[in-house]
């Protein structure tokens, strides 16, 4: 038996072993085996062509030449015939390994999801705390507004709102608006409804159009305008206090 035949036989044994372990064969090993088999097929093609050429030599014994050609072609055909089975097994191994990787990935992401879901489930309690903070700030702001509005003549000190003090801001701006004004907190069980800001119908009585060039500012009765402004300020402070109290009552005792 020639060295080529021995090598071909060894390859066939490797192929038989791989096909016999179809459920456990690794895709990398199968891919390497397929590459080796394809190389062997190409070599067998050359060997069969060479044996055919030699068989035409008149000095060669016909029976011997025929046997050598038949062996070369059979070796080639056996390897070519097994290639589709190896390729199918490679596809199955790749699918199996992909499924295993996906399963592992699924379990890892599932664990991350469950952990994040546990944290997200704190939303109702956190929203409750945030609304309490806002309601407290509004109640205190009403007191701040009252004190600022009653400042004596010549007194320049004014208290900041709770949010401005907490955020270390001098005032709100377009780039830094009030968090209280911007915050939107959906209800946990009915997320189409907002827990904050609370829904309140608009009271037409609270909407007062501003008149540009008010005639009162052009008369000598300026002191009356000052009194009206003070009264309006006190009215606004009372309205803010009432609104904050109503919001607090609605939050703690919803209808």
Q: Which residues contact 76 (CB under 8 A, 6 or more apart)?
A: 41, 44, 45, 47, 48
> Mean pLDDT of residues grouped by 10 in the chain (255 residues)?
65 85 84 91 83 74 79 82 90 93 97 98 96 96 95 94 97 95 95 88 53 44 53 70 70 62
Per-residue pLDDT at 177 = 96
181: nearest Cα among 141, 232, 225, 224: 141
**In which residue are the tokens 């305008």 written?**
225
Per-residue pLDDT at 180 = 95
Per-residue pLDDT at 10 = 85
**What is the per-residue DSSP string for the chain?**
--HHHHHHHHHHHHHHHHHHTTTT--HHHHHHHHHHHHHHHHHHHHHHHHHHHHHT-TTS-HHHHHHHHHHHHHHHHHHHHHHHHHHHHHHHHHHHHHHHHHHHHHHHHHHHHHHHHHHHTTHHHHHHHHHHHHHHHHHHHHHHHHHHHTPPTT----PPPHHHHHHT-SS--SSS--HHHH--EE-SS-TTSEEESPP----GGG--PPPTT-GGGGSS-HHHHHHHHHHHHHHHHHHHHHHHHHHHHHHHS--
201: nearest Cα among 246, 149, 169, 164: 246
Per-residue pLDDT at 4 = 60
25 and 18 in contact (C-beta within 8 Å)?
yes
Per-residue pLDDT at 212 = 41
pTM: 0.57
């Amino acid at each position: 038996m020639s060295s080529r035949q021995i090598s071909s036989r060894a390859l066939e044994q490797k192929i038989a072993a791989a096909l016999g372990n179809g459920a456990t064969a690794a895709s990398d090993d199968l891919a390497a085996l397929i590459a080796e088999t394809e190389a062997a097929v190409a070599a067998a093609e050359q060997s069969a062509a060479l044996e055919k050429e030699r068989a035409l030599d008149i000095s060669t014994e016909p029976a011997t030449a025929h046997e050598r050609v038949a062996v070369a072609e059979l070796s080639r055909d056996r390897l070519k015939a097994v290639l589709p089975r190896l390729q199918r097994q490679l596809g199955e191994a790749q699918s199996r390994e992909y499924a295993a990787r996906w399963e592992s990935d699924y379990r890892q992401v599932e664990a991350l999801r469950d952990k994040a879901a546990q944290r997200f489930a704190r939303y109702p309690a956190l929203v409750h705390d945030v609304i309490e903070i806002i309601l407290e700030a509004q109640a205190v702001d009403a007191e701040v507004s009252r004190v600022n509005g009653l400042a004596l003549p010549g007194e320049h000190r004014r208290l900041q709102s709770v949010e401005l003090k907490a955020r270390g801001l001098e005032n709100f701006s377009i780039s830094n608006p009030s968090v209280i004004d911007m915050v939107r907190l959906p209800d946990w069980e009915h997320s189409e409804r907002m827990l904050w800001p609370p829904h309140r119908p608009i009271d037409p009585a609270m909407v007062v159009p501003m008149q540009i060039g008010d005639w009162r500012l052009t008369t000598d009765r300026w002191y009356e305008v000052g009194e009206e402004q003070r009264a309006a300020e006190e009215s606004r402070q009372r309205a803010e206090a009432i609104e904050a109290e109503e919001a607090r009552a609605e939050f703690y005792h919803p209808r």
